[in-house]
Structure 1
Amino acid sequence: MTYPTNQGVPRALRMLHDRFGAFLVKGTRARLVAVGHLLSGNFLNALIMLVSVAMAARSLGPATYGVMVLVLSYNRVVERILRFESWQPLIRFAVQDENRASPRRMQRLYCYGLMLDMGAAALAAVTAIALALLLGPLFGLKPLHIQLVAIYSIATLFNVAGVPVAALRLSGQFKMLAYAQVAGNVLRIFFALFCMISGAGVLGFMVAWTAAQVLGSLIVFWTGFRALRAMGIANPLHAKLKGLTTDFPGFFGFACSTNLSLTLRVITTEADSLFVGALAGTSAAAVYYLAKRIAKVAMQVGAQVQAVIYPDVSRMWAKGNLRGFRATTLQVQAALALVGILMLGGGWLIGPLLIRLGPGEAYSDAYVLLLTQLFAVMLLLHAAPSRSAMLAMNQSWHVLAISGLGTAIFVVVASYAVPRYGALGGNIAHVVLGIVEAVLMDIFWLRKSRRPPVAANAG
C-alpha cells in the first residue's frame, strides 16, 4: 500500500527558511556580538551605578536625597537643552563621505562637531549656575543649595562626548564604548562609601558624583581620539576652523533638529523629577527618581543597542539597501522586546528585595513606580530603533514632530495625574508617551522604507 507524499511540510520549511534568511541579514553576527558587549558593559555599569545611588539614598534619607535629585535633574535639564548630540550628524555625514572623502576632510568634519560640543558644554555650565541664582526657588532649590549646582556644573563642562562617541561607533569599537565609563562609576562607589562612613552629607556626595562624571568623560574622550587615530584621522583640534559651515552644508541644521528632539525628551526624562518635586515634595521626588534610576538599566540598553544599528542602517539607506534596512531595524526591535520583557519580569520578582537591600524600607513605595516605569521603558525601547531608522532617512524633523506631539501629551497627562496620584502620575504619563511614540514612529518608517532604492538615495 502506498501513501501520498505530503508536499505541505517541505514547502512550509522552505518558506520559514526564506523568511528567517531575510531576517538574518548580512552583518547579523557582528551586530549581535556588538550588542552582547554593550549589554554586558551596560549591565555592569548600571549595577555599579545603582550601588552608589543606593548608598546615597540610604545615607541621606528621602528628604535630603530628594534635594540632591533636584540638583542633578536641574543640571541635566540645562545641559541637555543646550547640548548638541553631534554624534548623530557626524555619523550621517561621515557615512555619506566615507568612500570618497580624504582624511583631511574627515578631520575638519570632526572639528566641526567638536566645536559645537565644546561651545555647548561651556554655555550649559555657565547657564546652569546663572539660572540657579535667578530661578532656583522655582525648582525647590534654596540659596544653600546653589553651591551644589555650581559643583556639578564642573561635570557639565567636561561632558564633550559627541566626537569620541561617533568615532568609537563608526570604527566598530563597541566593546571599548561599553566599558569606558565603568572606571568612573567604580570610583563613584568608593567616594560614596567614604561619604557614607564619614557622614559627609549632601555636599560630599555631590563632589563624589562630579568627580566620577568628570573621570568618565575624560576616559571616553581619550578612547574616542584613539579611535580617530586608528582610522587615520588627525586630531580635530589641529584643523582649521575657517570654512567649516560652507564645507558641510546642512550639518548645523541637522544638529539643531536632533538637539530640539533631545530637548523635548529632557522634559520627560529629567524635568519630570523637578515637576514631581515641585508638586509632591522632595521625598516624593526621591522615590520617583530612584524608581527611574532602576528602570534606566533597561533604557540604557535601548540607547546603546540603538547605537549599534545607527551606523549600519545609515549605510544601508544611503546605498538603497531597503531589504537590509528593514530587516535590521525589525531584528533589533525584536531583541529589545525580549530585553524589555525580561526586565519587567525581573523587576516584578526581585524589585522589593532590591529596594529593601539597597536604599532601604523608606523607599518601599518605589516598587509600584518601578513596575509602571519598566512598562513605559518597554515601549520606549521599541521606539528606539525606529528613531534610528528615521534619522538614517534624513527625517530628523519628522522625529522632532513626533517627539513634540508625544511631549505635549506627556505634559497634559502629567499635569492631570501628578496632583491626583503623586509620583505615580509621572509614570502613567511615561506609559502614554511610550505608546504615542512607538506607534507613530513605526507607522512612519515602515511606510517610507517601502519606497524603491532610488527614492531612498534621494533621502
Structure 2
Amino acid sequence: MSPGDIASRGRRRARGPLSPAGLVSRWQASKLLRPRLVSLFHLLSGSFGSALVMMGSIAIATHALGAQVFGVMVVVLSIGRTCERLLRFESWQPLIRFVAKAQQEQASPETLSRLYSYGLLLDFTGAFASAALAILVAWLLGPLFGLGEGHVGLVAIYACAILCNVRGASSAALRFCGRFRTLAYIQLVSSLLRLGCAAALLLAGAGLTAFLVLWTSAQILDSLLFNLVGMRTLARTGVPSPFTADRRGLMEQFPGFLRFAFSTNLSSTMRTLTHETDTLLVSAFAGPGPAGLYYLSRRIAKVAQSAGDMIQTVVYPDLARIWASVARPAMGRFVRVIQAIMGALALAALGLVWLVGEPVIARAFGAQFAPVWPMLLAQIVAVGAILHAAPARSAMLAMNRPGYVLATAILSTLVFFASALLLMPRFGAIGANFAHIAFGTVTVVALDIGIWRALRLAGTAPECEVAGADLTGPRER
C-alpha cells in the first residue's frame, strides 16, 4: 500500500463512520463549516425577510402608480443605481484582504485604523462622483430612457441617497467581527418603515414624487444605521475611529491596496452593466412600461440572488484567513459544500415559481403585471448560475486573483450585451432575461475552471477535510 493510500485511509478514520451518529459527531466537531453555516442561516433569513418586506412595498407602489408611472420610477432608480455602482468602490473587499494580512502580521490598532480610513476615503470619493454623474446622465440622456424634463429633479432627489450610501468600511468591520446577524437584520428597520409609509401614501392617493422621496429616505436611514453599528463594532475591537486617523502616506504604507480596489471596482462595474443598465436598455427599446415589468421580474428573482451576496459576506473573510494562514487544504471542500447549498436553493426557487408564481404575481401586483411570470422563470435560471459562481468568486479574490475575476466579468458582460441586442428585437423585454442566462453560464464555467485549476496548482485537493480545521475567526454569539 502506498503512503498516499495510508494517509487517505487515516483521514477517513479520523472523520468517523458515515452513519447518522458519525455525521452528527463530525458536524458538532466542525470548527469551520458549522459556525459559518449558522451565520449563513441568519443572513439568509434576515435577507429573505427584508426582501419580502421590500416586495410588499413594491406591490403597494404598483397598485398606487400603475404600470406606466411605476416604470418611470424604476427608470429613475436605475439611473441612480447604475451611476452609483459604476463609480462606487467596493472598499470592503480590499479592506478584508489587507486587514487579514495586517492581523497575521500583528499590526497595531493605529495601523488598522489608517487602513479603514483608506477605505473611507475611497467610499466618500465614489459617493460624491456617483451622485453628480446620476444628475448629469438624467439631464443629457433622460429622453432616451423615456424620461421628461421634469423627471431630472426626481433623479436629483434620489442622488441624496447616493451621497449617504457610504458603508464600505463599516461593512468590512462587521464582517470581520462576525456580526452576520447584525448584517442580516439591520436592514429590516428601514424596510419595515418603508412598508408602513408606502401603505399610508396609498391611502392618501400620493403620486410618483412622494413614493420616490420615501424610497430615498428609507435608503438614507438604512445607511446611517449601518454605519452607526459598524463604527461601534470597530471601536469594540480596540481600533481607533477611522474618521480621526492620520491619512498621510496611505499609499506608501499600504502598497497594492488602491490597485486591488480599482480591480474589484472594475469587476463590480461589469456586474452593474448587466444588473442595473439592463433595465435602462429595456426602457430604451420598449419604454418605461415594459421596463417596469422587467424590473419587477429582476427584483423578485433578487430574493434568491441575495443568497449569493450573503455567501460572499460569510465565506470571504474565512477564505481570506485560509489563504493568509496557508491552511489551504480546507478551501476546496469549503467551496464545494457552499456550491451544493446554493444549487439546492436555486432548484427550490425555480420549483416554487413554476408552481405558484403566476397567480401570486397577478394577485400581489395586479393583473397588468401578469407578463412578469415568464420573465421571472427565465431570471431564476440565470440566478441559479450566479449562486453557483458566488463561492468560487470569493475564493479567487481571497487568493489575490482579482484580475481573473475581472477578466471573467468582462467576458460575461460582452456575452450579455451581444445576447441582449440579438434577442430583445425578436422576443421583447424577456430577451434581456435570456441574456442573463448566457451571462451566468459563462461566469460559472470560467470561475469553476479558474478556482479548481488554482487549487490544483497550489497542491490542494478538493476532497480535503475541513471539519477539523481550526480557523475560527471572531463571530457573533
Alignment of 1:261-410 (within 5 A): 261-410=267-416
Instruction: Note if contact 1:302-1:384 (Cα within 8 Å) is conserved in structure 2.
Output: yes
Give the CA deviation at 1:129. 1.1
d(CA) in 2 for partners of 1:314 and 1:453?
Answer: 17
Alignment of 1:56-455 (within 5 A): 56-99=61-104, 100-452=106-458
Between 433-442 and 352-361, report the one with greater CA deviation.
352-361
Instruction: Note if contact 1:280-1:419 (Cα within 8 Å) is conserved in structure 2.
Output: no
- Residue 59 of structure 2 is matched in structure 1 by 54
Give the CA deviation at 1:62. 0.9
Opposite residue 324 of structure 1, the aligned amino acid is: A
Give the CA deviation at 1:18. 7.7
Q: Deviations over 1:174-216 (max 9, x none)?
A: 0001011111111111221122111211111100100100001
- With over 3 angstroms needed to count, the CA separation of the structure-2 counterparts of 1:16 and 1:228, relative to structure 1, is closer
Q: Does 1:39 align with 2:44?
A: yes
Opposite residue 277 of structure 1, the aligned amino acid is: S
TM-score by length of 1: 0.93
Instruction: Note if contact 1:124-1:156 (Cα within 8 Å) is conserved in structure 2.
Output: yes
d(CA) in 2 for partners of 1:252 and 1:128?
Answer: 24
d(CA) in 2 for partners of 1:447 and 1:322?
Answer: 14
Partner of 2:456: helix, strand, or coil?
coil
Q: CA RMSD in A?
A: 1.9
d(CA) in 2 for partners of 1:93 and 1:379?
Answer: 29
d(CA) in 1 for partners of 2:377 and 2:13?
Answer: 41
How much identity, in percent, do the aligned residues show?
Answer: 45
- With over 3 angstroms needed to count, the CA separation of the structure-2 counterparts of 1:195 and 1:112, relative to structure 1, is same
d(CA) in 2 for partners of 1:164 and 1:341?
Answer: 33
d(CA) in 1 for partners of 2:318 and 2:457?
Answer: 19
Partner of 1:260: helix, strand, or coil?
helix
Partner of 2:457: helix, strand, or coil?
coil
Instruction: Note if contact 1:322-1:450 (Cα within 8 Å) is conserved in structure 2.
Output: no
Instruction: Note if contact 1:111-1:236 (Cα within 8 Å) is conserved in structure 2.
Output: yes
Give the CA deviation at 1:110. 0.2
d(CA) in 2 for partners of 1:90 and 1:428?
Answer: 35
Q: Deviations over 1:342-400 (max 9, x none)?
A: 11111112212321221111100001111110010000000111110110111101100
Number of equivalenced pairs: 443
Partner of 1:232: helix, strand, or coil?
coil
Instruction: Note if contact 1:320-1:453 (Cα within 8 Å) is conserved in structure 2.
Output: no
- With over 3 angstroms needed to count, the CA separation of the structure-2 counterparts of 1:15 and 1:342, relative to structure 1, is farther
Instruction: Note if contact 2:94-2:260 (Cα within 8 Å) is conserved in structure 1.
Output: yes
- With over 3 angstroms needed to count, the CA separation of the structure-2 counterparts of 1:319 and 1:18, relative to structure 1, is farther
Give the CA deviation at 1:15. 11
Opposite residue 50 of structure 1, the aligned amino acid is: M
Give the CA deviation at 1:131. 2.5
Between 59-68 and 444-453, report the one with greater CA deviation.
444-453
Opposite residue 183 of structure 1, the aligned amino acid is: V
Q: Which runs of 5+ in 1 are unaligned?
A: 1-9, 455-459
Opposite residue 179 of structure 1, the aligned amino acid is: Y
Q: Which runs of 5+ in 2 are unaligned?
A: 1-8, 461-477
- Residue 4 of structure 1 is matched in structure 2 by none
Give the CA deviation at 1:171. 0.1
TM-score by length of 2: 0.90
- Residue 30 of structure 1 is matched in structure 2 by 35
Partner of 1:449: helix, strand, or coil?
helix
